[in-house]
Amino acid sequence: MHIEVTQLNKQFGEFHAVQDVSFSIEKGRLIGLLGPSGGGKTSILRMLAGLETPTSGDIVFHGKRVNDLPPQERGIGFVFQNYALFKHMTVFENIAFGLKVKKQSKEQIRERVTTLVELTGLKGFEHRLPHQLSGGQRQRVAFARALAPEPQLLLLDEPFAAIDAKIRQELRTWLKEMIERLGITSIFVTHDQDEAIEVADEIMIINKGKLEQKGSPWDIYKSPQTQFVASFIGESTIVEDISKLKGFEAASAHPGVKALIRPEYIEIGKLHEFKIASATEPGRIKQLHFRGSEWMVEVTVGDITLITYRSLEKDILQPGEEINVLVHRAYLFTNDESWIMENRLKEDPMPVHI
Ligand SMILES: Nc1ncnc2c1ncn2[C@@H]1O[C@H](COP(=O)(O)OP(=O)(O)O)[C@@H](O)[C@H]1O
Ligand SMILES: [Mg+2]
């Protein structure tokens, strides 16, 4: 189902929970709605579902405005973290619930539930009650129940938040494969950036009721449009006065500009390790943290501390050691603009690694 949302607003009394949010979603896409708690993600989802009325704005499904359509007529399936299964119903009865409401025949119901039980790997569990299942299995039942009436849009609100890390990881992969196989348009809410990056085709970053950016995980990572997005996705150091760093003096033309530097944009090493030694400047190792597959290094240049990584194969560094530092690029932000600044002393633009 193609979705078009225009200038969506939700106010709770004086409080503006969702502000002028507009986006469109192509049929069959899996979208991650990502942002800190309290940002308005659930409110957006509830308006799409018809469980909350927008203060203003339009919600259009498949070319038809659905603002006034009740939830059961919107062709939507939900999986919510706290949208519990019916406790006294078996797995079979839970999945069959929406079909019974639609007054389907016993035969039709049996056929559909059997298909879903197989699809979700719940064969053999049909007659169990929810308390006889693991958390992961329960969420798979919730997923099957949501899919039973063949919705055209699936809404998942932090479906794995209450499940422990290892199982959550398995469920993510499972969910992504499942949704790809079914080709159903889906919106997946999470506050966990790794989860969003891993699961979604496209991410929408929501903060304080506003849509900050929409794009593929990689696009958002490499071209964040706001300071919030840059610091929320991936790791980085924020630098108050980047014009003090060699190669970035031109930033002083933009008073009040802030810079954000990703670890992979910083190179450290002995002078002979650099192609363009003249672009480096002296720094000092402040701290080293072993991260299992690499070192996380805190390095100071003047009064600026930067964070970067160093591979285990290279010479081991020591705190206090003098080292050369080359900052390849930075994201610069003012209140209403953002851009990438390359180190002007480098000859070649930085190669982009994924
Ligand atoms: N029914 C409501 N009445 C008043 N305030 C609400 C209501 N629902 C949500 N809010 C407020 O709106 C903001 C956004 O909430 P929510 O959409 O649940 O955010 P998220 O899902 O991103 O954590 C929060 O500050 C929350 O307290
Ligand atoms: Mg929420």
Q: What one-character-per-residue DSSP string does 169-209 give?
A: HHHHHHHHHHHHHHT-EEEEEES-HHHHHHH-SEEEEEETT
Same domain, 105 and 176: yes
Average pLDDT over residues 190-198: 91
pLDDT digits (tens, 9 = 90+) for 209-229: 999 999 999 999 888 888 899
Query: CA-to-CA distance for 154 and 146, rounded, in angstroms?
Result: 8
Which of 183, 206, 232 is the endpoint of a domain? Answer: 232
Average pLDDT over residues 91-104: 92
Model confidence at 277, pLDDT cuts 50, 70, 90, reads confident
From the list 337, 42, 43, 19, the residue with the least C-alpha distance to 208 is: 19
Q: State residue 284's pLDDT score.
A: 97
Average pLDDT over residues 37-44: 96
pLDDT digits (tens, 9 = 90+) for 240-275: 999 999 999 999 999 889 999 999 999 999 888 888
Residue bearing tokens 């203003």: 56
Ligand 2 centroid to 43 CA: how many Å? 7
Model confidence at 279, pLDDT cuts 50, 70, 90, reads confident
338 compared with 263, residue with greater pLDDT = 263
The pLDDT mean for the chain works out to: 92
Average pLDDT over residues 37-47: 96
Average pLDDT over residues 327-347: 88
| Ligand 1 atom closest to Cα of residue 40 | 17
Residue bearing the CA closest to ligand 1, atom 16:
40
Same domain, 98 and 205: yes
Tell whether the model's pLDDT for residue 327 goes beyond 90: yes
Is-contact 10 55, C-beta < 8 A? yes
In order of 49, 74, 212, 291, the CA distances from 61 in angstroms are: 11, 8, 23, 46
Is-contact 86 93, C-beta < 8 A? yes
Average pLDDT over residues 284-291: 95
**Cβ neighbours for 162, distance < 8 A, ≥ 6 positions apart:** 81, 135
Q: How many independent structural domains does the chain possess?
A: 2
Tell whether the model's pLDDT for residue 178 goes beyond 80: yes
State how far Cα 39 lies from the chain centre. Answer: 13
The CATH number of residue 310's host domain is 2.40.50.100
Q: State residue 82's pLDDT score.
A: 66
Same domain, 228 and 241: no
Residue bearing tokens 């049996």: 110
Q: State residue 12's pLDDT score.
A: 96
Model confidence at 348, pLDDT cuts 50, 70, 90, reads low
Residue bearing the CA closest to ligand 1, atom 6:
12
Residue bearing the CA closest to ligand 1, atom 2:
12
112: enclosing H helix or E strand: helix 106-119
Q: State residue 352's pLDDT score.
A: 46
Average pLDDT over residues 41-66: 96
| Ligand 1 atom closest to Cα of residue 37 | 23
DSSP string, 14-57: TEEEEEEEEEEE-TT-EEEEE--TTSSHHHHHHHHHTSS--SEE
State how far Cα 25 lies from the chain centre. Answer: 16
Average pLDDT over residues 50-65: 96
Tell whether the model's pLDDT for residue 187 goes beyond 60: yes
Model confidence at 347, pLDDT cuts 50, 70, 90, reads low
Tell whether the model's pLDDT for residue 83 goes beyond 80: no
Same domain, 118 and 251: no
Which of 232, 250, 279 is the endpoint of a domain? Answer: 232
The CATH number of residue 121's host domain is 3.40.50.300
Q: State residue 354's pLDDT score.
A: 39
> Is 76 within the bounds of a domain?
yes
Is-contact 120 143, C-beta < 8 A? yes
- Ligand 1 binding pocket, CB closer than 6 Å: 12, 15, 17, 35, 37-43
165 compared with 180, residue with greater pLDDT = 180
User: In which domain, by residue range, is 308 found?
Assistant: 237-347
> Is 354 within the bounds of a domain?
no
User: pTM of the prediction?
Assistant: 0.85
Residue bearing the CA closest to ligand 1, atom 24:
38
Which stretch of 65-69, 255-259, 287-291, 346-350 has the lowest confidence by average pLDDT?
346-350
Tell whether the model's pLDDT for residue 353 goes beyond 80: no
Same domain, 205 and 263: no
Which of 232, 256, 281 is the endpoint of a domain? Answer: 232
Same domain, 124 and 206: yes
Tell whether the model's pLDDT for residue 314 goes beyond 70: yes
